[in-house]
Chains A and B, each alone.
Chain A
Amino acid sequence: MKVLMLGWEFPPFKSGGLGTACFNLTKHLSKKGISITFVMPHAPENATAEFVDLKGINKYNLKIRKIISDLTPYAGADDYAFNIGSLKGTYGSNLFEEVERFTKAAEIIAKEEDFDVIHAHDWMTYNAGLRAKEIAGKPLVVHMHATEFDRTGNNNPNMHISHIEYRGMQKADRVITNSNYEKNLIVEKYNIDPNKIEVAHWGVDPGFKPHMRQDIFSHAKKEKLVLFLGRVTLQKGPDYFIEVAKKVIDIYPNVRFIIAGEGDMLQRVINRSIELGISDKVSFTGFLHGEDVDRAFQMADLFVMPSVSEPFGLVALEALKNGTPAIISKQSGVSEVLKHALKVDFWDTNEMTNKIVNILRYNELHNELRDNSYEEARKLGWENPAQKCIEVYREVLR
């Protein structure tokens, strides 16, 4: 079976969970004998670099076609200006023009390549997927990793983007999403037939490493560390994290809160920490790359994911994989697959404080949670989601 995959650059890259998901899915599909032509947008200044780690992938099954583009997987309309603003605007910064350009380029690839199924990841590739479907007359599977409602925290979603999402899901033969949480949201917000939607929970790649315990925060020796890691955007709930930090510090002062990541809310969060009088207890690391991510997890005593709306939340599995117990938002897909994690409503800052303080206070709780969740995360691989995708391909080809 041959698949035309419209996706995103592979790690190590500044693309967070979606790039990782595309990579692992491709790897496991390839292992199962699926041939893939992978079309990815590629930042112009890196156009010649080789970022793809092909270890474990049967090279004969995989062909990569790069389209030079400024598109990044998480861009919303405002966010795009933020992300792209600092880059040299080779192609201008109108997001929708850029999407259209990507679609045209994908159209050409669709004419050149031979494939049975099209698999498109997230809204920016949906128009390209639909064009490819028209040109080649092949079935289209759209993969909804995150909706506009997730990205904006349901706060003033961009109607143009949500319409592209709606049209993509309506016209596609099947929709794949990462959790029941996301499936419900799609049914509710986009009125898509639930029978058309398949849930494939993400896994975590098995690179479980021994603890490195190299301090990247020099002051980290004595204090307990509570970590937020992710984009500092409304969707991820950093504002709740900072409110909780204040409440925890009032009760358990020997603690430091780390915010690792960048995003359009960073300045607001920094200002809030000053207002609350806890700026000496909160550290901002900026965006962490590669091994620094693992180090941050391993140094932390606790990882907190207070997302307002999280289609999956791979970062929580990354934390567990590094031996760091997690408190996760109930408004997340990952909470459906984890039993050994503490779950809390993102808005319930008192309950979050209750859990954090007790974990910091009682090693027996921390250790029990850490060991059991580590074991649990190890069992969540990419075999199952890859198999689900193959089943969906088979159905649409029937």
Chain B
Amino acid sequence: MVSICFYFQVHQPFRLGKYSLFDIGKNPSYFDDSKNREVFDKIAKKCYLPMNNLLLDLIHQHKDKFRFTFSFSGTAMEQFEKYSPDILQSFKNLVDTGNVEILGETYYHSLAWLYSKKEFKEQIKMHSDKVKKLFGVKPSVFRNTELIYNNEIAKFAEDLGYKAVLAEGWDNILGWRSPNFIYRPKGCSRIKLMLKNYKLSDDVAFRFSDKGWAEYPLNAEKYSQWINANNGNGNVVNLFMDYETFGEHQWEDTGIFNFMRMLPDELLKNNDNGFLAISDAVKKYSCVGEVDVPHLLSWADVERDISAWTGNRMQQSAMKRLYDMEAAVKRCGSKELLESWRKLTTSDHFYYMCTKWFADGDVHKYFNPYDNPYDCFIIFMNVLNDLNARIEHCRGRKSIKNLFGLLNKTKY
């Protein structure tokens, strides 16, 4: 018996415009609305719409035998609302079938865990409220941004009441063990750990259209055989990937949609197989052992670390300067400034500053809307300087108001 658990990550950041030194103090709009809309429209057309339709067809076709999981960042949900009510409706239609689960995460797809537990908690709550408001369901499984994970994060999620947490099924933490079972995070008593089967996930997400790959071309039949091979030595096959895999990273002409259309038929030929949402699997199977992850683990790059966001001096400095403003922006009382500040916590801004493989023009560059990591840092710092000035201004006004309040009080 093996349960296939698809989880698709849906995220869009609010990208910054080319904010210059000469905008500081003059231009209050940091985000490039037309660029964000343009990217959204492109991805909606290539991925969200066709893939949502396909998944809805599959649910209609296979009924309760086809279940899966989404995670939407808060910024992505905002963009559904802002740019395309049709897309939002089509996601709602999927969730309304009852076959689709939604995970909890930080609202702003942030790295808040690393810098402020307070902000981390607030963003998780915000996200949960947003999911409830838009889709009418409450997340019960947690995944941190970029699957950043360690024992401490698991404990934190357990204390917030989550039933399970997701992480990369990386060999270094598993040793001889398989990612195809459910484990207990070290130091926890209730929460369960679902580990990504990165080999099978990446066969679809990264290698599907790679003509240099020995297994190219991949079809549903071959892939089903690989999954069937896990029968008897695993309970789950966790296929975690970006939703943009379908139509955006792997274009339609690679045959990715046909592959997905055929896959449930192929897999369900074997009566031992089934598709489950994450919390179904968590309910169905018990933990087979404990997994200890003392150091931070992510699902990114060959290192599976966080160096893509915090690896260089610009990233570290920008991140520190941003979180140094947390107390002030929260104290100043302006909702608008707090929202701007929070949009800056989105991990993508720091990813764009990555210099690791910039020169090789690889995947990092593909996702980067700016000329280079340095220009990205400059834009970010210009924005921070403006935001800082606005916070100071706001606090100044507030303290004057307080002073008047005090004077008024003394009158009576």
Give me the interface of A with B, judged by CB distance under 8 Å: 251, 339-340, 342-343, 350-351, 353-355, 357-358, 361-362, 364-365, 367-369, 372, 376
- Residue pair B312, A376 in contact (C-beta under 8 Å): no
A368 to chain B: which residues have CB within 8 Å?
312-314, 355, 373-374
Known: A364-B313, A364-B316. A339 touches B372 (CB 8 A): yes
B367 contacts partner chain A, Cβ-Cβ < 8 Å: no
B114 contacts partner chain A, Cβ-Cβ < 8 Å: no
Known: A251-B21, A343-B371. A354 touches B313 (CB 8 A): no
In the complex, per-residue mask of B300-323: 1 if CB is within 8 Å of any chain A CB, else 0 = 000000000000111011000000
**Which of A340, A354, A361 is the one whose CB lies under 8 Å from B359?**
A340
In angstroms, Cα B24 to Cα A358, docked, is 13
**Which of A350, A364, A372 is the one whose CB lies under 8 Å from B20?**
A350
B292 contacts partner chain A, Cβ-Cβ < 8 Å: no
Interface size range on B against A: 20 to 34
What are some 5 contacts across the A-B interface (CB < 8 A)? A339-B372, A343-B371, A355-B378, A358-B378, A368-B374
- Write the chain A residue with the least CB distance to B353: A368
- Write the chain A residue with the least CB distance to B19: A354
B381 contacts partner chain A, Cβ-Cβ < 8 Å: yes
A340 to chain B: which residues have CB within 8 Å?
355, 358-359, 372, 374
**Which of A342, A343, A358 is the one whose CB lies under 8 Å from B21?**
A358
Q: Which DSSP category, helix, strand, loop or mixed, fits chain A's interface?
A: helix
**Which of A339, A354, A365, A372 is the one whose CB lies under 8 Å from B22?**
A354
In angstroms, Cα B378 to Cα A339, docked, is 16
Give me the interface of B with A, judged by CB distance under 8 Å: 20-22, 312-314, 316-317, 355, 358-359, 371-375, 377-378, 381-382
- Residue pair B355, A372 in contact (C-beta under 8 Å): yes
B20 to chain A: which residues have CB within 8 Å?
350-351, 354
B375 to chain A: which residues have CB within 8 Å?
342, 355
B378 to chain A: which residues have CB within 8 Å?
354-355, 358, 365
**Which of B317, B358, B371, B382 is the one whose CB lies under 8 Å from A364?**
B317
A369 to chain B: which residues have CB within 8 Å?
374
Beyond A354-B20, A354-B21, A354-B22, 9 additional contacts (C-beta under 8 Å) are A342-B375, A350-B20, A350-B21, A361-B381, A364-B313, A364-B314, A364-B316, A365-B374, A376-B359
Q: How far is the CB of A369 from chain B (nearest CB, A)?
A: 6
A372 to chain B: which residues have CB within 8 Å?
355, 359
B374 to chain A: which residues have CB within 8 Å?
340, 342, 365, 368-369
Q: How far is the CB of B148 from chain A (nearest CB, A)?
A: 23
- Write the chain B residue with the least CB distance to A379: B359
A353 to chain B: which residues have CB within 8 Å?
21-22
In angstroms, Cα B371 to Cα A354, docked, is 15
In angstroms, Cα B289 to Cα A243, docked, is 68
In angstroms, Cα B319 to Cα A364, docked, is 12
A251 to chain B: which residues have CB within 8 Å?
21
Closest 8 CB pairs of A and B: A364-B313, A364-B317, A354-B21, A358-B378, A354-B20, A339-B359, A368-B314, A364-B314
- Residue pair A354, B316 in contact (C-beta under 8 Å): no
Known: A350-B20, A353-B21, A354-B21. A362 touches B317 (CB 8 A): yes
- Residue pair B382, A358 in contact (C-beta under 8 Å): yes
